[in-house]
Amino acid sequence: MQNLTWRAKTWHEGIAQCQQHNVSYVLVTVVSVAGSAPRETGSKMVVTASESIDTIGGGNLEHHAIATAREFLLSNQPLTELRSYPLSSKLGQCCGGAVKVLFDVCNSYQQHIAVFGAGHVAKALVPILSQLPVNITWIDSRESLFSNSGINNADTSALNYSGLPDNVNIVVEQEPETEVAQLAPGSWLVILTHDHQLDYRITEQALKYPSLPFVGLIGSQTKAKRFITKLSHRGFDDAALARLYTPIGNPSIPGKRPIEVAVSISAQLIALLHCQSDKDSTQTADSASTFTTIRAATNIRANTSADTRATATANAENTAGKKEKTNDI
């Protein structure tokens, strides 16, 4: 994390501290040694985005290993890879031997969540989500909303944007819907913008990608019904519409205040995270069956029949106790 004080001196202490603070890391291990080498087989070190703990022998070998580990971290994907290093003049080493190094990437932020909108609800939501083992991209067209000015008041979350956690990345984009195409397969979307038409454009774009299994949209029951009808007329089938969760949030948590809506959304996302963990699922394009179970687990009714599309939000209204969430501003 950004303000984490690293106390670990050995690789196993490094792993423990990374896991305690949800920091992604790479375990680097010398698995084979031929000839003369600076360290023996089994030597290990831990590499994070900012730190390296313990050593596999120093010199250019370790320098190259650290650089390679950090390249792997940028992919934000679990990975295991074996690399061979001849300890020759080309590597700036004169040992004359050769080593094989195993890179085991351990990402703490396995689930990616894209939050569209930086209004009151988003400002209450992002600080909650940032404490979970997720990776957040926070997107809005209004750069001023990501400044420190006007944040610390009664109507918004007291979030210090200059000190955001490492798992939150801000994107300022004048056409936020274009960011959908940049999302990794398996990403979840939380759509909370200030503009209904922008909400629709983001939603429509997201439903074009079967690899995006969760498209959560804030709004009233009326808005949900209107969007579903329009999307149906635009040719989106049952499988696509089943990925749309609207109104987003856990219906058992009432209230319209930004923090209440944020807690409701967080509760639903936490349920999804735990459901994924229980099933040991991965974020892939064929995760529809997992999310069918998740939808039932979070009491959000699926809109899976052409005959029931027009009444899907009425069913959700009964489940939610006629609770409505208005658009974020």
Q: What is the CATH number of the domain that holds 242?
A: 3.40.50.720
Using DSSP, state whether 231 is helix, strand or coil: helix
Contact predicate 102/29, CB 8 Å = yes
Query: How far apart (Å, rounded) are the C-alpha atoms in residues 56 and 114?
Result: 37
Tell me if the pTM is above 0.85.
no
Provide the pLDDT for residue 224: 94
Q: How many domains does the chain have?
A: 2
Q: Which domain holds residue 83?
A: 11-106
Provide the pLDDT for residue 174: 94
Query: How far apart (Å, rounded) are the C-alpha atoms in residues 263 and 255?
Result: 10
Are residues 121 and 89 located together in one domain of the fold? Answer: no
pLDDT under 70: residue ranges of the chain: 1-4, 20, 22, 88-96, 108-110, 148-163, 276-329
Domain boundary among 87, 106, 125: 106
Are residues 181 and 42 located together in one domain of the fold? Answer: no
Domain boundary among 53, 82, 106: 106
Beginning with the edge strand found earlier in the chain, give each strand of the sheet holding 98-106 in spatial order: 52-54, 44-47, 25-34, 98-106, 79-86
Are residues 219 and 259 located together in one domain of the fold? Answer: yes
Provide the pLDDT for residue 143: 85
Are residues 173 and 130 located together in one domain of the fold? Answer: yes
- Indicate whether 4 belongs to any domain: no
Are residues 266 and 162 located together in one domain of the fold? Answer: yes
Instruction: Name 135's Cβ contacts closer than 8 Å, sequence gap at least 6.
Output: 76, 109, 110, 111, 112, 113, 167, 169
Are residues 271 and 232 located together in one domain of the fold? Answer: yes
Burial 170-187 (b: 16+ CB within 10 A, else e): beeeeebbebbeebeebb
Provide the pLDDT for residue 158: 36
- Indicate whether 139 belongs to any domain: yes
Domain boundary among 106, 140, 164: 106
Provide the pLDDT for residue 54: 94
Contact predicate 126/159, CB 8 Å = yes
Are residues 180 and 271 located together in one domain of the fold? Answer: yes
Provide the pLDDT for residue 58: 83
Provide the pLDDT for residue 256: 92
- Indicate whether 197 belongs to any domain: yes
pLDDT by residue (tens digit) across 78-135?
A: 789 999 888 765 555 555 578 899 999 987 656 899 999 999 999 999 999 998 888 8
Beta bridge partners of 84: 100
Provide the pLDDT for residue 111: 86
- Indicate whether 217 belongs to any domain: yes
Provide the pLDDT for residue 276: 67
- Indicate whether 6 belongs to any domain: no
Instruction: Name 80's Cβ contacts closer than 8 Å, sequence gap at least 6.
Output: 102, 103, 104, 105
- Indicate whether 216 belongs to any domain: yes
Pairing of strands 25-34, 44-47: antiparallel
Contact predicate 59/93, CB 8 Å = yes
Provide the pLDDT for residue 213: 94
